[in-house]
Amino acid sequence: MKLPAADLALSDSIRSIPNYPKPGIMFRDITTLLGDARAFRRAVDELVQPWAGMKIDKVAGIEARGFILGGAVAHQVSAGFVPIRKKGKLPHKRVSMTYKLEYGEDEIEMHADALVKGERVVLVDDLVATGGTAEAAIKLLRQMGAEVLAACFVIDLPDLGGADKLRAMGVPVRTLMSFGGH
């Protein structure tokens, strides 16, 4: 008999896929969480719980799963939504931030008019691993004059140190679960 979602740990709604996208990696797939209405609602509620009642002007979501979660969080807190995308995906005037990858660099962008200086922003994504993309997103938001209230993730891979890197930037980090390894 399947237990109701309320009786399960939220981590039970995550599918783990070994050796994806390459050997030795355990991929943590949130699409199973998104497909479970109760788990999805619970995750959104828990992501914003520490900031409930605070003034949040915008929620910024990192492409692509951060769009799904961030949109739901923005709705929950009655805030606007700012998509942070990979280079070349936004049609209007953009601002960008380059960041280092294990081998090379990548770039994220947002619309130049997505924020007003001084707006209070919560950053959302599905998972924090090394923290490189989230760190770049925080720098980009700050460059635009935003006050980054927090960074929220469903999953933390603490062995990779990303959440600690964001905390060292002075950003509170909210994660709902953690998994060891990569």
> Which tokens hold the place of 73?
């969080």
Q: How many Å apart are CA 155 and CA 9, to the nearest integer? A: 13
Single out the catalytic residue among 65, 85, 94, 174: 65
Single out the catalytic residue among 38, 63, 94, 102: 102
Containing 164, the helix (H) or strand (E) segment is helix 162-168
119 an active-site residue?
no
Written as one letter, the residue type at 38 is R
102 an active-site residue?
yes
Alpha carbon of 53 to those of 8, 57, 86, 94: distances in Å? Answer: 27, 12, 32, 31
Give the active site residues: 65, 102
